């Protein structure tokens, strides 16, 4: 699949739930959230069918996200089935990490079970190492579980583990250096992500938005000039640098301030309620669940994917202060 701007689509990000056991301020509003009714969420079988169709059209990488994907029932069985979809050779998960260390009846941690299901990359959100700050950002006092979860992921032997830290002025600026040291000690890749205007309308303001360039300057005043690594990529829009005198790499995801952000986009998103979104930062979404449940053939579904790709915008609308009608938790970050 290739869009009008020459983006070759090889990556599908699949949200399997809008539910979450945390309440991050930038992702979900504080008020009690109404979850989608079960019947409005794609079944695993439906999701796997759509992944298979996408794979036949050239998708080889899938990342499972949410909400918190590990809160969905029977998620490990879903991952085992995902690995057998022909053409999918790179499976990742984005998680808040809270459930990675949980053990099943067979004694395995969730992280080990994911690794056995051929998941090769795990992204864990970690905005701070301070327990109180963590609780204030996520609405839950789960930092100890997350740190245990990261240890469980390391012990499970994933080839790639990344930590994602959302940049928030006045909230976690003092955490960047400690997070870098934490990642260095465990040989993990840490990425700093600009706050995006998704979710609630007050998520992004001039007071809390911290551009990646400023974060980089702050880090350089501590570590010295960071060394660009233009050749290093992990299949996403991050730009990587090395810390001087170390092998450690850190990434910056400047969704708003990097004007080249969309140039190498290779992604489509499938929301848990069966909408295909050609771009996170655009209102466009297309209801594939409706056609799927109306009895579409594989050929119909392929045509649907191709039509969506045809409409993929050249770049996102975040700089127009885009505020979608849907929360991030329901889109799948």
CB atoms within 10 A of CB 318: 22
First-last CA distance in the chain: 22
Residue 248 binding partner per list ligand SAM, ligand SF4, none, with a CB distance cut-off of 5 to 8 Å that depends on partner kind: none
The bridge status of strand 249-253 relative to strand 239-242 is antiparallel
- The count of other CB atoms within 10 Å of the CB of residue 9 is 22
Q: Which is nearer to ligand SF4, 9 or 168 (CB)?
A: 168
Alpha helices by DSSP H, listed for 11-167, are 44-56, 75-82, 110-116, 131-138, 143-156
| DSSP structure string for 121-180 | EEEEE---S-HHHHHHHHSS--HHHHHHHHHHHHHHT-SEEEEEEEEBTTTTGGGHHHHH
Q: Which part of the chain contacts ligand SAM (CB under 6 A), choosing from 63-71, 112-120, 259-267, 306-314?
A: 63-71
Indicate whether 23 belongs to the interface with ligand SF4 (CB under 6 A).
yes
166 binds, among ligand SAM, ligand SF4, none (CB under 5 to 8 A by kind): ligand SAM
Q: Interaction with ligand SAM in 83-102: which residues (CB under 6 A)?
A: 94-96
Residues in the chain: 333
Choosing from 10, 65, 145, 239, the residue that interacts with ligand SAM (CB under 6 A) is 65
Q: Which is nearer to ligand SF4, 10 or 98 (CB)?
A: 98
Residue 118 vs residues 39, 100, 129: alpha-carbon distances, Å: 29, 15, 29
Among 1, 9, 16, 27, binds ligand SAM (CB under 6 A): 27
CB of 153 to ligand SF4, least distance (A): 16
Under the binding rule (CB under 6 A), the answer on residue 195 touching ligand SAM is yes
Pick from 66, 236, 278, 324: which binds ligand SAM (CB under 6 A)? 66
Provide the edge-to-edge strand list for the sheet that holds 90-95. 227-228, 239-242, 249-253, 189-194, 160-167, 121-125, 90-95, 61-65, 11-15, 267-270, 275-277, 286-287
23 binds, among ligand SAM, ligand SF4, none (CB under 5 to 8 A by kind): ligand SF4
Q: Which stretch binds ligand SF4 (CB under 6 A): 43-51, 65-73, 142-150, 187-195?
A: 65-73
Residue 110 binds to ligand SAM (criterion: CB under 6 A): no
Member of 9, 12, 16, 28 binding ligand SF4 (CB under 6 A):
28
Strands of the chain, DSSP E: 11-15, 61-65, 90-95, 121-125, 160-167, 189-194, 227-228, 239-242, 249-253, 267-270, 275-277, 286-287
Q: Per rule CB under 6 A, is residue 66 in the interface with ligand SF4? A: yes
* 28 interface partner picked from ligand SF4, ligand SAM, none, CB below 5 to 8 A per type: ligand SF4
Cα–Cα dist 195/179, whole Å = 17
Q: Tell me how far, at minimum, the Cβ of 74 lies from ligand SAM, in Å.
A: 18
Q: In 10 A of CB 297, how many CB atoms?
A: 9
Q: Does 22 bind ligand SF4 (CB under 6 A)?
A: yes
Stretch of 50-58, 99-107, 188-196, 263-271 lying at the interface with ligand SAM (CB under 6 A): 188-196
Query: Which spans of this chain sit near ligand SF4 (rule: CB under 6 A)?
Result: 20, 22-24, 27-28, 66-68, 96, 125, 138, 328-329
Query: Which spans of this chain sit near ligand SAM (rule: CB under 6 A)?
Result: 20, 26-27, 65-66, 68, 94-96, 125, 164, 166, 193, 195-196, 198-199, 203, 328-329, 333
């Amino acid at each position: 699949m290739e869009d009008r701007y020459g983006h070759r689509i090889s990556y599908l990000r699949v949200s399997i739930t809008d539910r979450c056991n945390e309440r991050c301020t930038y992702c979900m509003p504080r008020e009690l959230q109404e979850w989608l009714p079960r019947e409005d969420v794609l079944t695993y079988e439906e999701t796997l069918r759509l992944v298979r169709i996408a794979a036949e059209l050239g998708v080889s990488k899938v990342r499972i996200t949410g909400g918190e994907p590990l809160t969905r029932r029977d998620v490990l069985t879903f991952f085992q089935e995902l690995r057998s979809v022909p053409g999918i050779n790179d499976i990742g998960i984005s998680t808040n990490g809270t459930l990675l260390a949980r053990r099943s009846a067979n004694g395995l941690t969730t992280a080990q079970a994911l690794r056995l299901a051929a998941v090769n990359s795990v992204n864990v959100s970690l905005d701070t190492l301070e327990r109180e700050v963590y609780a204030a950002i996520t609405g839950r006092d789960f930092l100890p579980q997350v740190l245990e979860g990261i240890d469980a992921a390391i012990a499970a032997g994933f080839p790639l583990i990344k930590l994602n830290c959302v940049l928030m002025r006045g909230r976690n600026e003092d955490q960047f250096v400690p997070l870098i040291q934490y990642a260095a000690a465990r040989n993990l890749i840490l990425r700093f992500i600009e706050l995006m205007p998704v979710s609630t309308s007050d998520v992004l303001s001039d007071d809390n938005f911290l551009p990646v360039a400023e974060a980089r300057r702050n880090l350089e005043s501590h570590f010295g000039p960071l060394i660009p690594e233009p050749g290093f990529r992990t299949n996403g829009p991050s730009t990587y640098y090395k810390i001087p005198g170390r092998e450690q790499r850190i990434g910056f995801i400047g969704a708003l301030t990097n004007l080249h952000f969309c140039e190498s986009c290779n992604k489509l998103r499938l929301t848990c309620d069966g909408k295909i979104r050609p771009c996170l930062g655009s209102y466009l979404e297309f209801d594939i669940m409706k056609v799927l449940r109306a009895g579409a053939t594989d050929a119909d579904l392929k045509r649907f994917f191709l039509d969506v790709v045809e409409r993929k915008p050249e770049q996102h609308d975040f700089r127009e202060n885009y505020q979608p009608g849907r929360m991030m938790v329901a889109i799948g970050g």
